[in-house]
């Protein structure tokens, strides 16, 4: 049929737009390395390379009882972490879904809510029958606050700008640890906020606590970001602090901002540009917007809408349900890609159930190809970022030992739940580095942000 032929034509065009050749990837890696270095050199660069004041690797022997509050992109998590030493731990957690009002409303209200949830958690876990909490000393809490913050010490952090769709006024330019502390005082929560950390740093440290091969921590969730350990001597912009040059500090790259200023390096499509221009933060997070969970479903939806407008998809049907911004969750792409039936029955069900749309088999096959294109591009772009961190540190230079693993610890739903995302990532690394790339192994760090917050809190206490 005509529609089928149009779909095939479109697919050909989309394939060209979304496919990253190994050569193109290597070019991206080269410019990425330069941008990372620039970020270490001077403040206020495109990729800010933020010093975290987390000094060096954990020993794995850190012990004790800690609380962690994790303000992610989608959920608020409160955990109690018992570090047992020897790289072992126990985690108990409660999750709270954040509403759009909380993400966009007054910032103090948001931090008050975090404090209130933590207060309830403490009462539930440490209180007696009447809900009274009596402790010898306040419980140390690590606050995983995964937005770019300028830190001068571990227990403070000035929010540079919101990302991942947050916009709560009253936080940018303010010390968010202080805002959270105000909430804790308001609710009289018997805790001591000892560290503000990024989830990437948390993942890096949590993974290193159990596996010393860890070299980077990457988040593939609502947003996308990375952290790694850098020699202080390689961070010229903090030279004035007079810290020992041979010591190490974790760097929160905030790599989602890569290519946001010049748009020279990433092959953005019209759909990526559209997402950017209609986002609450146009002109920011160019790299993240091509990779992260918040956006992949929307990219898919925008392509679909274009085909609806062209009269190619869903002929003669009411399509308004799928024409609303951000109604197509990235989890749907996972679902589409995991459908192994010949008839793509899961895809049939998805469109019928959520969008009241009938699909032809040709349409479903098109959807599947489209999901593969978008998911694969995200994984391969992520591989470019990982390759940049590996190259920057010279981990695959002549002296490298092929028997040694370069461990990349990850967390987030995109990595954990999207079919083939890890394989595509590792294939991408081999495309960039050749066989050497096989030394790089990615894996899921169990409870990265919670355990990381606890280990960092423990490391902080030891330093004092
Ligand atoms: P956060 O980053 O907010 O802490 P997650 O790691 O769970 O939390 O990431 C949430 C993001 O992951 C959302 O953007 C959501 O669309 C996406 N997501 C949720 N489930 C899946 C799935 N099964 N496959 C792919 N993406 C998913």
CA separation for the pair 312, 174 (Å, rounded): 49
Give the model confidence (pLDDT) of 240-262 as tens digits. Answer: 999 999 999 999 999 999 999 99
CA 330 / ligand 1 centre spacing (Å): 7
The atom number, within ligand 1, closest to the CA of 411 reads 6
Look up the pTM and report it. Answer: 0.96
Give the model confidence (pLDDT) of 363-416 as tens digits. Answer: 999 999 999 999 999 999 999 999 999 999 999 998 889 999 999 999 999 999
The atom number, within ligand 1, closest to the CA of 199 reads 4
> Rg of the chain's alpha carbons, rounded to an integer?
23
CA 415 / ligand 1 centre spacing (Å): 9
Please report the pLDDT score of residue 464 as a whole number: 73
CA separation for the pair 360, 428 (Å, rounded): 33
Please report the pLDDT score of residue 461 as a whole number: 84
* N- to C-terminal Cα separation, the chain: 73
According to the 3-state scheme, what is the secondary structure of 77-121?
EEEEEEEEECCEEEEEEEEEECCHHHHHCCHHHHHHHHHHHHHHH
CA 337 / ligand 1 centre spacing (Å): 15
76 Cβ partners below 8 Å, 6+ apart? 69, 70, 95, 96, 97, 98, 113, 114, 117
The atom number, within ligand 1, closest to the CA of 74 reads 3
Q: Which of 226, 289, 293, 412 to mutate to test the pocket of ligand 1 (most atoms within 8 A of CB)?
A: 293
Q: Which of 166, 217, 222 to mutate to test the pocket of ligand 1 (most atoms within 8 A of CB)?
A: 222
405 Cβ partners below 8 Å, 6+ apart? 213, 439, 440, 441
The pLDDT profile of the chain, 464 residues, written as one tens digit per residue, is 788 899 999 999 999 999 999 999 999 999 999 999 999 999 999 999 999 999 999 999 999 999 999 998 888 999 999 999 999 999 999 999 999 999 999 999 999 999 999 999 999 999 998 888 898 999 999 999 999 999 999 999 999 999 999 999 999 999 999 999 999 999 999 999 999 999 999 999 999 999 999 999 999 999 999 999 999 999 999 999 999 999 999 999 999 999 999 999 999 999 999 999 999 999 999 999 999 999 999 999 999 999 999 999 999 999 999 999 999 999 999 999 999 999 999 999 999 999 999 999 999 999 999 999 999 999 999 999 999 999 999 999 988 899 999 999 999 999 999 999 999 999 999 999 999 999 999 999 988 889 999 999 999 988 77
- Which residue of the set 77, 161, 215, 380 is catalytic? 161
Q: Which of 69, 330, 371, 382 to mutate to test the pocket of ligand 1 (most atoms within 8 A of CB)?
A: 330
The atom number, within ligand 1, closest to the CA of 75 reads 3
CA separation for the pair 188, 174 (Å, rounded): 22
Q: Catalytic site residue 146? A: yes
Q: Which two tokens stand for residue 148?
A: 């770019």
Please report the pLDDT score of residue 283 as a whole number: 96
pLDDT above 90 coverage of the chain, percent:
93
3-class SS of residue 65: strand
Please report the pLDDT score of residue 460 as a whole number: 94
Please report the pLDDT score of residue 449 as a whole number: 86
CA separation for the pair 458, 63 (Å, rounded): 7
Q: Kindly state if the Cβ of 296 falls inside 6 Å of ligand 1.
A: no
Q: Kindly state if the Cβ of 414 falls inside 6 Å of ligand 1.
A: yes
């Amino acid at each position: 049929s005509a529609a089928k032929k149009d779909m095939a034509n479109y697919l050909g065009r989309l394939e060209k737009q979304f496919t990253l050749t190994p050569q193109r990837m290597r070019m991206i890696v080269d410019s990425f390395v330069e941008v990372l270095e620039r970020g270490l050199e001077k403040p206020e660069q495109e990729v800010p390379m933020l010093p975290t004041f987390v000094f060096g690797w954990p020993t794995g022997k850190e012990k004790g009882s800690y609380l962690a509050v994790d303000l992610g992109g989608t959920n608020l998590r409160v955990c109690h972490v018992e570090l047992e030493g020897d790289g072992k731990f126990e985690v108990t957690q409660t999750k709270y879904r954040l509403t759009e009002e909380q993400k966009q409303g007054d910032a103090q209200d948001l931090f008050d809510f975090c404090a209130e949830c933590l207060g309830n958690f403490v009462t539930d876990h440490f209180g007696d029958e009447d809900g009274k909490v009596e402790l010898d000393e306040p419980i140390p809490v690590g606050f995983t606050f995964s937005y770019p913050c300028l830190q001068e010490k571990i227990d403070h952090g000035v929010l540079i700008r919101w990302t991942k769709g947050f916009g709560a006024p009253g936080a940018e330019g303010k010390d968010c640890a202080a805002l959270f502390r105000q909430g804790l005082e308001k609710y009289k929560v018997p805790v001591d906020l000892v560290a503000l950390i990024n989830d990437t740093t948390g993942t890096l440290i949590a993974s290193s606590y159990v596996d010393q091969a860890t070299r980077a921590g990457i988040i593939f969730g609502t947003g996308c970001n990375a952290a790694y350990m850098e020699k202080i001597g390689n961070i010229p912009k903090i030279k004035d602090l007079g810290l020992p040059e041979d010591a190490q500090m974790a760097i929160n790259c905030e790599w989602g901002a890569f290519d946001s200023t010049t748009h020279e390096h990433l092959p953005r499509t019209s759909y990526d540009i559209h997402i950017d221009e209609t986002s609450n933060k146009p002109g920011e997070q160019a790299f993240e917007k091509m990779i992260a969970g918040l956006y992949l479903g929307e990219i898919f939806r925008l392509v679909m809408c274009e085909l609806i407008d062209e009269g190619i998809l869903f002929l003669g049907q009411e399509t308004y349900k799928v024409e609303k911004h951000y109604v197509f969750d990235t989890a749907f792409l996972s679902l589409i890609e995991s459908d192994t039936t010949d008839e793509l029955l899961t895809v049939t069900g998805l469109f019928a159930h959520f969008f009241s749309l009938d699909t032809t088999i040709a349409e479903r096959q098109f959807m599947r190809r489209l999901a593969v294109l978008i998911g694969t591009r995200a994984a391969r772009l992520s591989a470019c970022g990982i390759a940049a961190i590996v190259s920057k540190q010279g981990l695959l230079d002549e002296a490298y030992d092929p028997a040694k693993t370069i461990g990349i610890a990850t967390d987030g739903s995109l990595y954990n739940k999207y079919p083939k995302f890890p394989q595509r990532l590792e294939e991408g690394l081999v495309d960039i580095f050749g066989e050497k790339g096989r030394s790089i192994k990615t894996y899921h760090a169990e409870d990265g942000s919670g355990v990381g917050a606890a280990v960092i809190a423990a490391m902080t206490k030891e330093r004092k």
